[in-house]
Amino acid sequence: MAAAMPLALLVLLLLGRKGWCLAEPPRDSLREELVITPLPSGDVAATFQFRTRWDSELQREGVSHYRLFPKALGQLISKYSLRELHLSFTQGFWRTRYWGPPFLQAPSGAELWVWFQDTVTDVDKSWKELSNVLSGIFCASLNFIDSTNTVTPTASFKPLGLANDTDHYFLRYAVLPREVVCTENLTPWKKLLPCSSKAGLSVLLKADRLFHTSYHSQAVHIRPVCRNARCTSISWELRQTLSVVFDAFITGQGKKDWSLFRMFSRTLTEPCPLASESRVYVDITNYNQDNETLEVNPPPTTTYQDVILGTRKIYAIYDLLDTAMINNSRNLNIQLKWKRPPENGYIHYQPAQDRLQPHLLEMLIQLPANSVTKVSIQFERALLKWTEYTPDPNHGFYVSPSVLSALVPSVVAAKPVDWEESPLFNSLFPVSDGSNYFVRLYTEPLLVNLPTPDFSMPYNVICLTCTVVAVCYGSFYNLLTRTFHIEEPRTGGLAKRLANLIRRARGVPPL
Amino acid sequence: SNNICFIHLGATVLGAYIFIIDQAEQFFRSGHTNNWAVLVCTSRFWFNYRHVANTLSVYRSVKRLGIPDSHIVLMLADDMACNPRNPKPATVFSHKNMELNVYGDDVEVDYRSYEVTVENFLRVLTGRIPPSTPRSKRLLSDDRSNILIYMTGHGGNGFLKFQDSEEITNIELADAFEQMWQKRRYNELLFIIDTCQGASMYERFYSPNIMALASSQVGEDSLSHQPDPAIGVHLMDRYTFYVLEFLEEINPASQTNMNDLFQVCPKSLCVSTPGHRTDLFQRDPKNVLITDFFGSVRKVEITTETINLQQGSEIMESSYKEDQMDEELMEPLKYAEQLPVAQIIHQKPKLKDWHPPGGFILGLWALIIMVFFKTYGIKHMKFIF
């Protein structure tokens, strides 16, 4: 036993000198980050990114030592000679109008696009086998990808990583819009992470919170990147991204206060020991405007400023690897609070009761300058009782005009008027201070076309019914109840005798 | 010395006796070395939530008792957990008041949604799968495997519906099991079915070593257990609910046998009469442990040697240096431009390969030309050539 060990050591050393086939150096690094963005509509978007960079040439055969880079994906790259792989699973749709532009959007369902190396001879065969293998890894129906839903884009989907020449023959793209995303897709995605869901930012990834969202998108991106600034050698980069949008109304009564615990039902406790960088970025662009509407707790020590997606943004940085951050309370729960609600107003609404009272809607709004404010109400048209229609129902029904009572700021300050001295046109409304004047405006009345019944219908119905009854029922009644009896012909009356007389006289046979 | 001889002889006889009893016991113990489970839910649509909950309950029990995900083929015909109508996403509950979430955090669904078809089910059982199917979707059993097959959904007398669009009959199922027997794909098989008239599905089995349980006899309906007003559907079927309660008390070391499983859910609780069939099974059900099918055989050998793993580190340093020297010689690489407008506008569209016209087109034109010349005579040829 003791003699065997040095012998084994010797053998290993000899093999090591010959080539690289025994063990690759573990030069891989992990960076993880979470970006929390309060959205204009009051919701909150959270984007996780886990990046594993592996300084290795995977084209060579015999790689067998995997450390942070997951073996399942590493074997895929070498077996199918991949240059790039992008796979995403999404549930929901990113509403750019309400939420602003996304970092990285993905189509609903599953999307897979792959660039193969130019050494691949049969791209379609590799594509089919690759989608089958991925369906086993991610528990999804990617095996339904075949020639009927695969295309080869000729101008878009250029490689996102290093590329010398781009012959689009080696690109394949497919989307399965019917694909559902659920825990069985999230679990293998989490297992690809070096710290799985045990430490670092991935402890926040709990399925029961992540799927209770308006938008959920998880993706895997593999591409070759530059290893250093001179870009003389290649590293493989694996990025796993997960974006979710938490809805203000689903997860808490419309209030816009957010915290990590409220979003994920967990807080951050320790960084991932395998990560070289582990940070949380919070978008505080609205922090310093408008009387400090957004408050972040705990207060950030460092910030990051840059132009992101066309606008200047400021982010607060919370570094989990900074020992001062976690040591204070053993866990980190970032809270966002709106100190002053963005709009204050008054709304009074009294719904209508049929044939008793009408709708009443009263709103106090502060109109921002140089803007257009639209107020809209949805309504449904209903049918009235036929006696409630006016004699000319096709004219339509009138809705009373809306009233706007406004205090408009004056350009020039006015002095208070004496009602007896000034002309009558200046004393219509009492004015308290001269900085603004009161005005009451009305809109046009609204003429609504209600669905009008056909008032001749009762008459038509009565005619038709009576005809049917008379013809059908009457005939049947007669057939069933009429009896026939033979009638003896009468022997003749007075008129007939007279007629016979005249006929005898003429010589014509009698009646 | 006579006494010693006698004692020696007595001890040998006793030893032999014990050895024979031991061997006899070994003979009647199951001879399986690995366990597999195929769990199938065949119903689609939100109101069939209970069938998915049934299957996931059995999945949960089977995993808890030791069968790993790689040995379980789970087929769910619809997605209930992330269904837009589910008020609690990513959960499937089996008890009222949301006590037990059987979906959990670590579920691996192998066949889902449209992949659950009769063809795929039979291919999984018989092993006739296309070569590119991933391992997690295959039933890689051998002749020493004990397989548990659980099916639930809507069924009738002699058939089971798959997703409301196709059926599997009891004859097809029996033939599939016979194929499995002939290909030596199982050692013993336990078939459990929870549908209406479930007993009709095991009537036609004819292969050895199959034990079958059903939730109701022919002519009876299997009923559901309890609705939940918050979710709005029935959460589980009665038979599987009581089977789950029974299984929750089993642990990997328990010695409960099949006769106890036959007693689960009598008519007073289930309203239907559960049935079972053991005539094809060689062993006596009272010698068959529940864990023979629901649990997993694990043979663990404990060793006290220590193994030192430190040798590898010196090699890594040397080979890394060789790597570095190699790559310095390459020229700098660059990223591709994402939208090179000028290049795209001026790129020529790829000409499709020219294919010669097919036989049909050639034949058609030959016919037309022949008819033309027959009608008008050969003298028109000179106008063409």
CA geometry: angle A396, A400, A404, nearest 5 deg: 145
* A128/B132 touch (CB, cutoff 8 Å), yes or no: yes
Whether pLDDT at B62 is above 90:
yes
* A208/B109 touch (CB, cutoff 8 Å), yes or no: no
Is A308 an interface residue toward B (CB < 8 Å)?
Answer: no
How far, rounded to the nearest angstrom, does the alpha carbon of residue A452 sit from its chain's CA centroid? 39
Most B-contacting residue of A208, A223, A230, A264 (CB-CB within 10 A), to test interface: A208
**DSSP letters for B128-197:** ---TT--GGG-----TTEEEEEEEES-EETTEEEETTTEEEEHHHHHHHHHHHHHTT--SEEEEEEESTT
Q: Is residue A236 part of a domain?
A: yes
Residues A312 and A410 in one domain: no
Work out the number of other CB atoms within 10 angstroms of the CB of residue A275.
26
Is A27 an interface residue toward B (CB < 8 Å)?
Answer: yes
User: How far is Cα A81 from Cα A75, in angstroms, rounded to an integer?
Assistant: 10
pLDDT of B11 reads 62
Q: Is residue A12 part of a domain?
A: no
Residues A360 and A328 in one domain: no
Tell me if residue B71 is catalytic.
no
Residues A372 and A282 in one domain: no
- Report the gap between the CA of A181 and the closest CA in chain B (Å): 7
Residue B323 with chain A: CB contacts under 8 Å = 20, 25, 57
Q: pLDDT of A128-161, one tens digit each?
A: 999 999 999 999 999 999 999 999 999 899 999 9
Among A293, A316, A338, give the residue marking a domain's end.
Answer: A338
- Residue A320's nearest CA partner among A340, A298, A290, A352 is A298
Q: Is residue A356 part of a domain?
A: yes
Work out the number of other CB atoms within 10 angstroms of the CB of residue A363.
10
Q: How many domains does chain A have?
A: 2
Q: Which of B108, B312, B327 sits opposite A232 (nearest CB)?
A: B327
* A232/B332 touch (CB, cutoff 8 Å), yes or no: yes
Where does A97-137 show beta strands of DSSP type E?
Answer: 109-116
- Which residue in chain B has the smallest CA separation from A158? B338
Residues A77 and A150 in one domain: yes
Q: Compute φ and ψ for B171, nearest 5 degrees.
A: -70, -45
pLDDT of A136 reads 94
B262: confidence class by pLDDT, cuts 50, 70, 90: very high
In this structure, the dihedral spanned by the alpha carbons of residues B142, B144, B146 and B149, taken in order and rounded to 10 degrees, is: 20
User: How far is Cα A263 from Cα A282, in angstroms, rounded to an integer?
Assistant: 14
Residue A25 with chain B: CB contacts under 8 Å = 316-317, 319-320, 323
Model ipTM? 0.78
Residues A174 and A147 in one domain: yes
Residue A384 is part of which domain span? 346-475
User: How far is Cα B292 from Cα B148, in angstroms, rounded to an integer?
Assistant: 9
Residues A391 and A470 in one domain: yes
- What are the structure tokens assigned to B98, written together? 């949301």
Residue B132 with chain A: CB contacts under 8 Å = 128-129, 132-133
pLDDT of B334 reads 82
pLDDT of A253 reads 54
How far, rounded to the nearest angstrom, does the alpha carbon of residue A190 sit from its chain's CA centroid? 23
Cis peptide leading into residue A298 (ω within 30°): yes
Asked if B126 contacts B173 with a C-beta cutoff of 8 angstroms, the reply is: no
Q: Is residue A120 part of a domain?
A: yes
How far CA A153 is from CA of A35, A107, A147, A159, in Å, comes to: 32, 16, 14, 12
Residue B317 with chain A: CB contacts under 8 Å = 25
Domains of chain B: 39-294 (3.40.50.1460)
Q: Is residue A18 part of a domain?
A: no
Residues A299 and A352 in one domain: no
Most B-contacting residue of A7, A20, A80 (CB-CB within 10 A), to test interface: A20
- Residue A162's nearest CA partner among A221, A111, A110, A225 is A225
Contacts of A415 (CB under 8 A, 6+ apart): A434
Average pLDDT of span B363-372: 88
User: How far is Cα A331 from Cα A326, in angstroms, rounded to an integer?
Assistant: 6
B384: confidence class by pLDDT, cuts 50, 70, 90: low
User: How far is Cα B29 from Cα B34, in angstroms, rounded to an integer?
Assistant: 14
Asked if A263 contacts A44 with a C-beta cutoff of 8 angstroms, the reply is: yes
Tell me if residue B196 is catalytic.
yes
Helical residues (DSSP H) of A300-368, grouped into ranges: 323-327
Contacts of A451 (CB under 8 A, 6+ apart): A381, A383
pLDDT of A327 reads 64
Instruction: Give the range among A173-182, A199-208, B81-90, B96-105 with minimum mean pLDDT.
Output: B96-105
Any idea which residue has 């209600």 for tokens? Answer: A450
Residue A233 with chain B: CB contacts under 8 Å = 327, 330
Most B-contacting residue of A127, A160, A233 (CB-CB within 10 A), to test interface: A233
Asked if A240 contacts A186 with a C-beta cutoff of 8 angstroms, the reply is: no
- Residue B215's nearest CA partner among B37, B12, B51 is B51
User: How far is Cα B287 from Cα B188, in angstroms, rounded to an integer?
Assistant: 13
Residue A207 with chain B: CB contacts under 8 Å = 90, 105
* B107/A183 touch (CB, cutoff 8 Å), yes or no: yes
- Report the gap between the CA of A145 and the closest CA in chain B (Å): 13
Q: Which of A136, A181, A187 sits opposite B134 (nearest CB)?
A: A136
Asked if B284 contacts B31 with a C-beta cutoff of 8 angstroms, the reply is: no
Asked if B280 contacts B208 with a C-beta cutoff of 8 angstroms, the reply is: yes
Q: Return the top range by mean pLDDT from A449-463, A481-495, B109-123, B335-349.
A: B109-123
Q: Is residue A488 part of a domain?
A: no
- Residue A205's nearest CA partner among A213, A215, A196 is A196
pLDDT mean across residues, chain B: 85
Contacts of B257 (CB under 8 A, 6+ apart): B285, B286, B287, B288, B289, B290
pLDDT, tens digit only, all 511 positions of chain A: 444 444 444 444 444 444 444 444 558 899 999 999 988 877 899 999 999 999 887 666 566 788 899 999 999 998 999 999 999 999 999 999 888 888 889 999 999 999 999 899 999 999 999 999 999 999 999 999 999 999 999 989 999 998 887 889 999 999 999 999 999 999 999 999 999 888 889 999 999 899 999 999 999 999 999 888 888 888 899 999 999 999 876 655 556 678 888 889 888 888 899 999 999 999 888 765 555 567 788 888 888 888 888 888 889 888 888 777 666 666 788 888 766 555 556 888 898 888 899 899 998 887 877 888 888 888 888 888 888 888 888 888 898 999 999 888 888 877 777 778 888 887 788 777 778 888 899 999 989 888 888 888 889 999 999 999 999 998 999 999 988 888 887 767 787 888 888 888 888 888 7
Name the β-bridge partners of B192.
B150, B213
pTM, whole model, 2 decimals? Answer: 0.73
Catalytic member of B32, B154, B225, B234: B154
Q: Is residue A262 part of a domain?
A: yes
Residues A314 and A357 in one domain: no
Residues A50 and A160 in one domain: yes
B316: confidence class by pLDDT, cuts 50, 70, 90: very low
Most A-contacting residue of B123, B305, B333 (CB-CB within 10 A), to test interface: B333
Is A180 an interface residue toward B (CB < 8 Å)?
Answer: yes
Residue B304 with chain A: CB contacts under 8 Å = none
Q: How does strand B210-214 pair with strand B188-194?
A: parallel
pLDDT of A343 reads 56
- What are the structure tokens assigned to A469, written together? 């009854």
Whether pLDDT at B289 is above 50:
yes
User: How far is Cα A169 from Cα A98, in angstroms, rounded to an integer?
Assistant: 39
Residue B92 with chain A: CB contacts under 8 Å = none
- Rounded (10°) angle between helices B238-248 and B49-64: 20
pLDDT of B307 reads 83
User: How far is Cα B202 from Cα B173, in angstroms, rounded to an integer?
Assistant: 8
Is A136 an interface residue toward B (CB < 8 Å)?
Answer: yes
Q: Which of A17, A136, A155 sits opposite B136 (nearest CB)?
A: A136
How far CA B51 is from CA of A207, B46, B48, B54, B307, in Å, comes to: 22, 10, 6, 5, 49
Residues A327 and A451 in one domain: no
Residues A177 and A294 in one domain: yes
Is A228 an interface residue toward B (CB < 8 Å)?
Answer: no
Where does chain B show beta strands of DSSP type E?
Answer: 34-41, 72-76, 111-112, 145-152, 155-156, 159-162, 166-169, 188-194, 210-214, 275-277
Among A338, A356, A372, give the residue marking a domain's end.
Answer: A338
Asked if B186 contacts B207 with a C-beta cutoff of 8 angstroms, the reply is: no
Average pLDDT of span B288-301: 83
Q: Is residue A17 part of a domain?
A: no
- Which residue in chain B has the smallest CA separation from A11? B311
- Which residue in chain A has the smallest CA separation from B321? A25
Residues A470 and A374 in one domain: yes
